[in-house]
Amino acid sequence: MRTRDEARAAYDAYLAGCPARQLLDRISDKWVSLLVNALAEGPQRYSDLSRTLVSVSQKMLTQTLRNLERDGLLTRTITPSVPVRVDYPLTPLGESLVPLMREIKAWAEEHMDAVTTARAAYDTATAPG
């Protein structure tokens, strides 16, 4: 029987059945990236997150929050009050993801003009006719 450290060393995201690939799928989701960035500023309520992530549907926001809670990246904290208050803070594991997500967001914002130019050049070069 392999130890946990041996199993961890055997993770290879290039293999289809590797759990690390599933985790990469999760954290590469646009809503996950944006949620982690939003929650980096501190715990937020569902309505705050909904306003920050302007075009996310209620269903997608709920599903993404549940998935992140299941993966241990955030917690759902309920404060008994009228009405009940529910906050979503990142866990230490989720906080460890923040620097990477901030860098990816910043990279996308910084390089969007170059990508737009490249797309236009590609579309022109591959246009029929």
The secondary structure of 51-117 as a DSSP string is: HHSTT--HHHHHHHHHHHHHTTSB--EEE-SSS-EEEEPBPHHHHHHHHHHHHHHHHHHHHHHHHHH
Per residue in 46-67, pLDDT tens? 999 999 999 999 999 999 999 9
Collapsed DSSP state (helix, strand, coil) of residue 123? helix
Indicate the pTM of the whole model: 0.81
Per residue in 71-118, pLDDT tens? 999 999 998 888 888 999 999 999 999 999 999 999 999 999 999 999
How far apart are the C-alpha atoms of 67 and 117, rounded to whole Å?
35
